[in-house]
Each structure stands twice: as C-alpha cells, then as structure tokens.
Structure 1
Amino acid sequence: MAINSALQYPHSTGEAGTNKESAVREIRHWCGGYLRRHPGVALETVGHQFVLGIRAIQYLCVDIATGRFSFAEFVQQAAFMARTAVLPTLFVAIPIGVTLSIQFGLLAGQVGATSLAGAASGLTVVRQGAPLVAAILMASAVGSAICADLGSRRIREEIDAMEVMGVQVVRRLVAPRLAAGIVVAIALTGLTCFVGFLAGYLFNTYVQKGTPGSFVATFASFATVGDFVLTLFKAAVFGAIVAIVGCQKGLSTKGGPAGVANSVNATVVASILLLMIVNVVFTQVYQLVMPRQGF
C-alpha cells in the first residue's frame, strides 16, 4: 500500500520537503534582514533627531536674540501642551505620592523608622518621581499630539508647500514647539513635586497617623536645593527630547493616514525609551559629582 501511494503521488514528499526548506530559508532571510536593517535605521533616526535638535536650538537662540522668534506660535503650543497634559499629570502624581507613602510606611514600620517618611518623599518624589511622571505624560499626550499634527501636515503636503515657498520648517514649526516643550515640562515637574509631596503629607498625617512636624523636618533634611535644581534641569532636557522626537517623527511621516498612526506609536515608544536612558545617566552622574552626605 505504501509503495502504491508513493507511486501514485511521487511529488508529494518532495514538495513537502521543498516547502519546508523554503520556509526555513524565508525565516533566515527575514531574521538576517531584520538584524541588518534595524540597527542601521535606529542609528539613522537618532542622527536625524540629533541634527534636528541642534538646528532647532540654533534657530531658537538666534531668533530670540534678533527678535524674529514666533512668540504667537510659542504661546499657542505651550497652551495646547499644558491643556493636554496637566490633568493627566495631576491624576498620576496623586496616586504615586500615596503609593510611595504606603510602601515606605510598611517598610519603616518593620525597622522602627516611621519618622523618616518625609525623607522618603523628598528622595523619591522630588528627585525621581516628579520628572519621570511629567516626562512620561508629556511623551504620551504631548509628543503624540505633536507628531500627529506635523505628520498630518506632511501627508497633506503642507510641509512641502512651505519648503517650496522658502519657509524654513525648522524655524517656523520646530523651534516654537521645542521652547514650549521645555517650559511646559518645567512647569509640570514643579507642579508634580508639589502635588506628590502634598499627597504624601496628607496620607501620612491623616491615614497613617504620622507626625506633621517630623514629616516636614526630615523632608527638609534630605531634600536639598541641588536636588530640586537637578529635577528642573532634567525636566527641561526631557521636554526637549519629547518635542524633538515628536517633530522628527512627524516630519518624516509617509504612507498616508496609516503612516501617521505608525509615527505616533513610534514617537511614544522612542520618547519613553530615551527618557529612561537619559534619566539613568543624569542620576548616576549626579551621584558621582555630588555624593550624598549624612545628617
């Protein structure tokens, strides 16, 4: 029976083997192409973002010095960014402050250090929580909005029309958004610091029955002015990263409406990834330059 089947279908086993080899070959080709393409594309994208950021900073400084800066566009974009990100940032900052108080309260209760709750708020909310919360919300809400706006203009060929008319796109569109992103990021970070500290203070005082004076005293002992300056500096850098990544992804959009959606997705992912990397670098450098000291 097996011999008859082989005689009746002589090509069945050969075709199955050929299809299997073809599938394996396609998988190897795809994997090799993926590994060859994506590192190069990633480096090229980072290079474009770096060049765009340098050009935008140059135009921003020159235009402010010469009085050619578009303050109307700056105010409009800053108001839009603040309106988009302020409420989500507040709604995220409050539970983060409360969560940190809960976690530290559980840990401090085991070692008998409940009086250091204010120090925990100073070290976590001010130094790490506030800039990261503001930056992530900026990347999610503001960065995606910037990319969608510029990407829509790109597929409608408005950017091409501006370039044909001799309008410098980086000066007209990117520089005001860069300045607005920096200002709004600093403002949101300061607001997040206050809200996070207030949420931790109220929760520690009224729920965990902590001492208000001890909370404020330990906060003032551990949280220094240098920590707050570093936080605001990180916020400015984070805001610039979000604005530049959103502008670069939006200006390089192609492929119609689906391309805009892909660019928005790539903006959020790339922004958050860069923010985490830069935050680690800043934190480590600050620890090396200004090590912590005891009481």
Structure 2
Amino acid sequence: MLISLRGLLFCREWLAQQLAFKALEAGGRPRQNSLLPLGFLEPPINAVQLFLYPLRQSEPLKIKDLALCLTPAEREKFARISHKEVQQRAITSRALLRKTLSTQAPLAAREWCFDYGPQGKPRLCDEQFQQTQLHFNLSHSGDWLLLALLKHPSPELQLGVDIERLRMRTAIDTVMRHYFAPFELQQLRDLDDATRREAFFDLWALKESYIKATGKGLAQPLDGFAFDLSSGEACSAERPAEIVAMRRGLLLKPKENTQWQSWLGHMEPGYRLALTLGAPAAINWQLQWHLGQ
C-alpha cells in the first residue's frame, strides 16, 4: 500500500509564539506549562500537543526527585537497569510523561495508570481514558524526548511519534533494501548521496511514527507501506531557530477505512520529528508546541 504525502506544506508561521512554554490554549489564554503546576488547564480537543524535553545527564538529586513521581513497580523495574545513563533516561522519560499528563487533568503524577497493547504500546487504563479522553505517545533519541498528547473521545484514534538523529555511520543502503517499499527505494535512488541520507531519515522517522500509531511495532513489515516525499511547498514566514522546517499533510491509505495524517519536522543538529495520526474520519487537528528546559 502507498501512503501519499502530496500537498505537504511547510507550516512555520504559527510556531514562533508557541515556544519556550508560551503555547496558547484554545481561546487565547496562556497555558500553564510548568512541570510542577499549581493546577491544570483543560486541554483543547483536536489539538496535538508536542512536548520536547532535553534528556541531558541529570544530577543525582534531580533524578531522585523525578523518581518520586513513579510507582513502586516502576522504581523496582528501573532499578534493575545496570547501565546508569540508560537507567536515568528511563526514569526521566517516565517521570516527564506522568508530570505532563498531570498538567492536563486533576491527577497527581503517581496516580496515572497504564495498560499496554500486544506489542507493548502504552496507553491510559480504560477508567482514566474515559475520564480524560487523553491519547499519548512518546519517543526519545540522543539528547531529546518527544511526547505527544491529544484529547479526543474516540478510543479508536491511533497516535504515534518518533524522533530520530541523523547518523552518518548508518549503512542506509542495506537498511533501505530490507525495510523500505519499492516506491520509497525509487525516491531515494533518484537523489545524490548527501540528500539521500537526509531523506532516508525523514522516511525512517515517518515509518516509525506510523507503526507506533498502529501499535504493531516491528511486527508490521516496514516494506508493506510507503510514504511519498516528492511534493511539498515552502512558506516564507519566520521560524524559530529550534525547528528548521516543518511539513504537514494528509496520508492516503487505500483499502482501509482509517484516515491517516502525518507531520514531519527538522530540528538542528540533525534531528527529525515525525507524527502520524489515524482515525475513522479525518480530524481537523492543529499542533501546539511546548519546549522544556
């Protein structure tokens, strides 16, 4: 099957006012974006909120404070991770997820409960989803954590995000042959070497976001679907330094009732951010940015 991104637009102009924890909620009032909020603000429906957090090496005291947000089972699980940096990133990622969810609903960070799909995709437990209607997905790469939140009443909605760091040592030709669809291979082979590597990681991030949205993960053959990056139109509007370029468009997936939509962003130095959203009917959604510190 072919997933097309025709009609992609570079959408930048509305980002400038959304950076540095100054994203606006529907209605124009400033959102409370502190990770330690005094309260919460009801998230707008159909607004995909993207939270981008740095995962730098944290001080032991900060890690200890973050661990207080975790459940006893989570603390026990992460304590078994022998690699110190991996352990700290696991604690930080789960704590930031819990804290960010608590900016959206009147629940303490430790009170959130999660269920998991057959391939391990996390989601809110049924009771809390019925109360909050919150969907989420997260990804990390290098020094960054990307978290997406969306309030929508349909439990059928599928949301996936991925962040990828461009790596010069990756043998992209080998990966392409094993995991990319013929249509994507042809797109990449038409490019020069430098541009091909850039486009490879664009496609990889998009494909990862798609299989994370479906919840099937790598159990779903990556060469069984394709993205089309051949079209796109640049905007001349000013853009923030953190986000170099953005594209957004409708995903067309034949022979399936799900309506797929996607978004792709570039962030220096060499990161790709991708989001895929699937629902029984197309959603007129918007993005809201929150950059953590």
TM-score (normalizing by structure 1): 0.23
TM-score (normalizing by structure 2): 0.23
In terms of Rg, which structure is larger?
1
Structure holding more helix per residue? 1
Structure holding more strand per residue? 2
